[in-house]
Structure formats: C-alpha cells, structure tokens
Amino acid sequence: MKGKKDNIVLIGGSAGSLLLITEILENLPARLDYALCIIIHRSSTFSSEIEKSLSIKLNRPVIAITDKTPIKNGIIYFAPPGYHILIDPPGTFALDSSEHVNYAKPSIDVLFESCAQIYGQYCTAFLLSGANADGARGLKAIEEFGGKTFIQNPSDALIETMPISGIQESRLSTILKNQDIIRYFSDNLQLS
C-alpha cells in the first residue's frame, strides 16, 4: 500500500476531452508532487503523436507508458492506444492486451480500478467528456478504496454521456466546471 509521498492523479476522457486536457497541462505548475496519468480513448494509428507534440509544447517530459514503466512523482504519463493499463505493486505500470472493456482499449475503468486498489486514499481521479460509460465503475472503485473523485460538469463537457454516467455510478464525486478543474491543477489543490 502506498504512503503519503506517493500520490497519483488520473485523468480519464474520451471524445471532446483533449482540449481541456491540453489546457490543464499548459497551466500545470513547474513542480508536481504527484504522478499524473492521462488515459484517453484514441486510435492506435496515431500512436505517439500526442506525447511528442505535448512534450515540445510544454517543454517537459511527457511519457508514453510502455511495459513496466516505473511511476515517479512529477512525471506526466499517457496510456498508449491498444493496451489496457494496470498498476503492479509497489508502483510500476503494467500493460495488458486482453479484450476491450466498454468497447475501449485502454479502458478507463481498468486503470481506475487497478489504481484504486494500490493507491487507496492517495489516488485522485477526474472523469471528463466522452461518448460512452467507461470510467464510471472505476470512479466508484476509487471512492470505495478511499480516493478522491471529480467529474467535469456535464454542461461544460463537449459530450456529456461520460460525465453523466460517472455521476450516476459514483456518490461522492465533486462536480467541477472547466475553470475549476484547471485551477485545481494550477494551484496544486490536491495537497490541501
């Protein structure tokens, strides 16, 4: 089980989430006291383009997860297309190419559920815009293991299906407008 020094923040999104994610990343403080892992549904045809262009744009390392990538504070990770992402104790990413979950690979549920069990209260997750119900069960698991969950306000989301599913499935999630989500990251609010 993870200690206080090992916080992880997860952002899950699908269609309509990339713009907000880019804005979050552009407003991040220079120093992060947590690992940030972003998981979005995307086609495997354009595998590594996002990481490369973001890394240049943000002038900081943005890492595409590969087999057994260690999880470190201060680093931004992206889930690669075509694989589910899980977390192996004590703290490395593990890849899995099994069946799609919620028509998705990577599935947000798979990562969230795995992370919930390893990180417990030190896991924080955001669920953003998307056109299916992936991520909702994962939010519930994070809550049950003591973590914190946030959902993009459906009225702010380009596609509201995913946030609404998240709200229906989880009980304790905080619902945030876009500017509050960005401020949460830029002001390091998870540490308070």
Partner 1 sequence: MVGLKKSEFISFSDLDEVVYLLKNISEFDLTGYSKSSLKRRIERFLSMEKMDLVDLKSAILNIDGFENYFIQELMVNVTEMFRDPQFFRQLKAKTFPYLQTYPQLRIWSAGCATGEEAYSLAILLKENNLLNRSFIYGTDVSLKALDFARKGVYPLAKIKSYTDNFNKAGLASEFSSHYTAMYDAAIINNEYRNKILFSTHNLVSDHVFNEFQLILCRNVMIYFDKELQEHVLQLFYESLALFGFLCLGSKESLYGHAIKDRFKVIDSNLNIYQKVK
Cβ-contact 53, 11 below 8 angstroms: no
Which residues belong to the active site?
14, 41, 134
- If you search the block for the tokens 């959902």, which residue do you land on? 151
Choose which of 22, 121, 132, 188 interacts with partner 1 (CB under 8 A).
121
Choose which of 21, 25, 62, 87 interacts with partner 1 (CB under 8 A).
87
Instruction: Return phi, psi of residue 12, to 5°.
Output: -115, 135
User: Among residues 97 and 192, whose Cβ is nearest to partner 1?
Assistant: 97
- Please tell me the distance from the alpha carbon of residue 152 to that of residue 130, in angstroms, as a whole number: 10
Q: How far is the CB of 65 from partner 1 (least distance, A)?
A: 8
Residues binding partner 1: what is the number (CB under 8 A)?
30
User: Among residues 6 and 113, whose Cβ is nearest to partner 1?
Assistant: 113
The crossing angle, in degrees rounded to 10, of helices 136-144 and 161-169 is: 30
- Please tell me the distance from the alpha carbon of residue 136 to that of residue 171, in angstroms, as a whole number: 11
Q: How far is the CB of 3 from partner 1 (least distance, A)?
A: 12
- If you search the block for the tokens 């990538």, which residue do you land on? 69
Q: How far is the CB of 113 from partner 1 (least distance, A)?
A: 7
| Cis peptide upstream of residue 61 (ω within 30 degrees of 0) | no
43 near partner 1, judged by CB under 8 A: no
88 near partner 1, judged by CB under 8 A: yes
Scanning 76-84, 124-132, 150-158, 181-189 for contacts with partner 1 by CB under 8 A, the matching segment is 76-84
Choose which of 18, 28, 63, 95 interacts with partner 1 (CB under 8 A).
95
Scanning 50-58, 88-96, 127-135, 166-174 for contacts with partner 1 by CB under 8 A, the matching segment is 88-96
| Burial (CB count <10 Å: 0-12, 13-18, 19+), residue 151 | buried
- Please tell me the distance from the alpha carbon of residue 151 to that of residue 169, in angstroms, as a whole number: 11
Give ∠ CA 172-128-26 in degrees, rounded to 5.
115
Q: How far is the CB of 19 from partner 1 (least distance, A)?
A: 27
Cβ-contact 167, 175 below 8 angstroms: yes
Which residues of this chain interact with partner 1, rule CB under 8 A?
1, 47, 65-68, 80, 82-83, 86-89, 94-99, 110, 113-114, 117-118, 120-121, 141, 144-146
